[in-house]
Amino acid sequence: MPTAPRNLYDLTRPELRALLGSLGVNPAHTGRVWRYLYWECVEQFSAMDEVPARVRAALTAHATIGVLPTAVETDSSDGFTRKFLLGLPDAERIETVLMRFTGRVTACVSSQVGCAMGCVFCATGQMGYTRHLTTGEIVAQAVHVQRALLQSVPEKCHVLRDSFTGASGGRVGAVGASPSGNLVAGAAAARHAVAEARPAAGYRPRLRNIVLMGMGEPLHNFDAVMRAIDIFTDGTGLGLAADRITLSTVGVVPGILRLAREQRKPFHLAVSLHAATQAERAAIVPAARKWPLDELMAACRAYSEATGRRIFYEWTLIEGKNDSPEQARAVGRLLGDLPAQVNLIPLNPTQGYDGAPTRSEAARKFQDVLIHEFGIPSTVRQRRGIDIAAGCGQLAVAEK
């Protein structure tokens, strides 16, 4: 019989089954408990109505549901982004972001309190490293977002219709259930036609995508993150498809090689590159001194060869630093024949770095070089949640 209470968010489904067995209750109840945790997103055992009282009593005595309390919740004026500041049991805090893109909801999840990698332009790096998150703390963030979605279904909801493409934003309700009940606001409203409709009977908003791009370096916390991905993708819980999960790494070479070696669920891997020469990269990404660019690219090649998957390369565009057409050509040459896509992210402001974002025309030129001269697919990331510091690299928590 376990001594310290187990956080159920720490456990895979087979482990939950084993726990029930060790508590002397019938493991046949595993599926139902799991469904309450990840489908109903309940916060207390008392809400598990269809679980026998004896099982609930055993769980209450020996386990917890590691819900993370919301300290602050902020909505962006872009109408698509909500940031949660969540409390941890040891009084540390982390941030999680809910983003709505047309027809899908994405959670941007943290993997550490702070980060040890020290990228100069990143607010999380600027705050330094405090500790790894547990699997349960990573899982709790995704459940938090799913719960917020469940609690947000309004009586009426908006249906987005993109006025450029005319494409519908998804099934009725699929994008409409804004937590604020006000999905389209400000400038966004000008770009979209909005209709009102009632959510379809039985409509249930679902978290569709998870990006491990919040605070921290996920491959520095490898085991806890991999277990969390196993829980995210369990078909009877949150049920995310593995290819709806993206893990972004600064380039922790041993972690990438491990992913190449181990048979893992086919989630997407993103590698934050930012520069195409070792000297330029080491100047803004200190981790490059430990894992130099040639070793990183060799690891990326090994990963793509072993898995058959392309890697997304992330490139934060900083005006005058890494955004010239010549630097784009250097990226094209560096990636060569590797299966790749380059995602360009105009720099978001942070307190500790005074660089400026590349303007949109220069960003487009950079993208054009990659696409037209090298045949490398490339996107320029939409800026989201900048007013509430919820954009890439802006997550940090003020000192307590």
Q: 């027809």: which residue's tokens?
A: 103
Residues 279, 285, 291, 294, CA torsion sign: negative
Is-catalytic flag, 95?
yes
Nearer to ligand SAH, 337 or 354 (CB): 354
CB of 264 to ligand SF4, least distance (A): 20
Question: Is 122 a residue that touches ligand SAH (CB under 6 A)?
Answer: yes
Question: Which position among 297, 344, 393, 396 is part of the footprint of ligand SF4 (CB under 6 A)?
Answer: 393
Q: Which two tokens stand for residue 200?
A: 């379809």
Q: Which is nearer to ligand SF4, 297 or 392 (CB)?
A: 392
Whether residue 118 contacts residue 102, with contact meaning beta carbons closer than 8 Å, is answered with: no
Kindly state whether residue 81 participates in binding ligand SAH, applying the rule CB under 6 A. no
Active-site option among 41, 95, 157, 314 = 95
Residues in CB range of 217: below 8 A, 6 or more apart: 111, 112, 115, 116, 117, 249, 250, 252, 287
The stretch among 60-68, 115-123, 331-339, 348-356 that binds ligand SF4 (CB under 6 A) is 115-123
**Residue 119 near ligand SF4 by CB under 6 A:** yes
If one asks whether residue 348 binds ligand SAH (CB under 6 A), the answer comes out as yes
Answer yes or no whether residue 126 interacts with ligand SAH by CB under 6 A.
no
Specify whether the CB–CB gap between 73 and 358 falls below 8 A. Answer: no
List the one residue from 267, 393, 396, 397 that touches ligand SAH (CB under 6 A): 393
- Residue 19 CA: distances (Å) to CA of 8, 37, 66, 90: 9, 15, 16, 25
Taking CB under 6 A as the rule, does residue 19 contact ligand SF4?
Answer: no
115 binds ligand SF4 (CB under 6 A): yes
* 8 Å CB contact between 393 and 358: no
Where helices occur in the chain by DSSP H, the ranges are 13-22, 30-38, 53-62, 123-127, 135-150, 186-191, 222-232, 253-261, 278-284, 287-290, 293-307, 325-335, 360-368, 374
Nearer to ligand SAH, 205 or 393 (CB): 393
Per-position DSSP letters for 61-82, written without gaps between them: HHEE--PPPEEEEEE-TTSSEE
Q: State yes or no: is 319 an active-site residue.
A: no
Q: Which of 78, 95, 314, 323 binds ligand SAH (CB under 6 A)?
A: 314
Give yes or no for residue 124 binding ligand SF4 (CB under 6 A).
Answer: yes
Of 41-49, 122-130, 255-263, 367-375, which part binds ligand SF4 (CB under 6 A)? 122-130
Q: Compute the distance between CA of residue 173 and CA of residue 200 in angstroms, rounded to an integer.
A: 7
Residue pair 248/270 in contact (Cβ under 8 Å)? The answer is yes
Q: Least CB distance from residue 117 to ligand SF4, whole Å?
A: 3
Written as six digits, the tokens of 226 are 């991999």
* Residues 6 or more apart in contact with residue 336 via CB below 8 angstroms: none
Give me the 194-223 binding string for ligand SAH, x by CB under 6 A, dash otherwise: -------------------x---x------
231 binds ligand SAH (CB under 6 A): no
CB 304 within 8 A of CB 268: no
Query: x/- binding map, residues 211-230, to ligand SF4, per CB under 6 A?
Result: -----xx-------------
170/157 Cα distance (integer angstroms): 12
**DSSP of 245-264, one letter per residue?**
EEEEES--HHHHHHHHHS--
Q: How far is the CB of 13 from ligand SAH (least distance, A)?
A: 27
CB of 113 to ligand SAH, least distance (A): 13
Among 9, 80, 121, 232, binds ligand SAH (CB under 6 A): 121
Query: 392 touches which of ligand SAH, ligand SF4, none (CB within 5 to 8 A by kind)?
Result: ligand SAH
Q: Which is nearer to ligand SF4, 38 or 267 (CB)?
A: 267
- Residues near ligand SF4 (CB under 6 A) are 115, 117-119, 122, 124-125, 216-217, 250, 272, 393
- Residues near ligand SAH (CB under 6 A) are 119, 121-122, 213, 217, 248-250, 272, 314, 316, 345, 347-348, 350, 392-393
Q: Which residues are catalytic?
A: 95, 392
